Amino acid sequence: MTYMMIIIFIYGLLIGSFLNVVIYRLPNDESIIFPRSSCPECNTKLGIIDLIPVISFLINKGRCRYCETKISYQYPIVEILTGILLSMLFMYYQFSAKFWMYSFLVSLLIICTFIDFRHKIIPNKITYPGIIIGLILSLLFNHISFKSALLGMVITGGTLLLIAILTKGGLGIGDVKFVAMIGTYLGTSYTLMGVFIGSFVGSILGISLIGLGIKGRKDSIPFGPLIAMGTILMMLWGHKIIAWYVSIYN
């Protein structure tokens, strides 16, 4: 088990390295495959020694090996976060269909989280294909039925769309499509509970930031990362969270 956990963690680091490429290039409408990775400052093509997840960052002390420009901490954070989350999923689901489907969803969540945090957008290039792939995967594997995936998309997306209309811009359409995408992988109840958790944490975070004078009352907080956090909690401990929530009313 320990041996496999190490392998999964390393696998997660490698996936995280690719996710960094997507996070950097997608908002700029660049190909995520070509050209080869290079330093954004000096444009020097990076070799294998420069692309080892986390280790290259540590060896080079967080700087480009060629021009010594500082490298964003986002790169090792995304790699380590991906490794940890995939390892945790493996602990719960082993090599089941849910492990692979949820690992794919986690990758989408990480991409959208960091793009939303930096650019305040959730790209359609992720949510639209994510929805289509989610529906197709529900037909091919047993992690969720196609009916549950379809209802998860329609009900959760429709619910947030209604909220967006009623709040008149209080919720972005990108968030609506993001939640609809998640619904195709988790179904209705888990997705809505994930949104509820994200909203609850966001409320506490917003009040705290306003109280500390860091944010003003009219300042917004990206909702995508909060939705992603709630979704990940549901993937890992969904049945326990819902059982606890129901027990409160019993």
Both 131 and 194 in a single domain? yes
Which of residues 68, 95, 122 is at a domain's end? Answer: 95
What is the total count of domains within the chain?
A: 2
Between 48 and 116, the higher pLDDT residue = 116
Question: How is residue 124 written in tokens?
Answer: 């359609």
Both 104 and 161 in a single domain? yes
Helix (H, G, I), strand (E, B) or coil at 86: helix
Both 13 and 91 in a single domain? yes
Both 143 and 167 in a single domain? yes
pLDDT, mean of residues 60-77: 93
Both 243 and 167 in a single domain? yes
Question: How is residue 160 written in tokens?
Answer: 């947030």
Both 32 and 100 in a single domain? no
> In this structure, are residues 142 and 88 in contact, taking their beta carbons and an 8 Å threshold?
no
Helix (H, G, I), strand (E, B) or coil at 230: helix
149 confidence band (pLDDT: 50, 70, 90): very high
Q: Report the half-sphere exposure of 77 (CA within 13 A, side-chain side).
A: 9
pLDDT attached to residue 23? 97
Q: Which pTM does this prediction carry?
A: 0.94
pLDDT, tens digit (0-9, with 9 covering 90-100), for 188-212: 999 999 999 999 999 899 888 888 8
Both 235 and 245 in a single domain? yes
Euclidean distance between CA atoms 181 and 108, whole angstroms: 10
What are the residues facing 70 on neighbouring strands?
Answer: 63
Euclidean distance between CA atoms 105 and 101, whole angstroms: 6
Both 183 and 116 in a single domain? yes
pLDDT attached to residue 169? 66
Q: How many CB atoms lie within 10 A of CB 9?
A: 17
Both 70 and 115 in a single domain? no
pLDDT attached to residue 1? 64
pLDDT, mean of residues 42-69: 92
pLDDT, tens digit (0-9, with 9 covering 90-100), for 100-123: 999 999 999 999 999 999 999 999
Both 62 and 24 in a single domain? yes
Euclidean distance between CA atoms 81 and 112, whole angstroms: 14
Q: Which of these, 91, 132, 92, 88, lies nearest to 108 by C-alpha position?
A: 132
249 confidence band (pLDDT: 50, 70, 90): confident
Both 37 and 18 in a single domain? yes
Question: How is residue 48 written in tokens?
Answer: 């294998």
Both 144 and 161 in a single domain? yes
Which of residues 71, 95, 119 is at a domain's end? Answer: 95
Euclidean distance between CA atoms 98 and 220, whole angstroms: 34
> Among positive and negative, which fits the CA dihedral 196, 198, 202, 204?
positive
Query: Which range marks the domain in which residue 3 is found?
Result: 1-95
> Secondary structure of the chain: what % helix, strand, coil (to 5)?
70, 0, 25
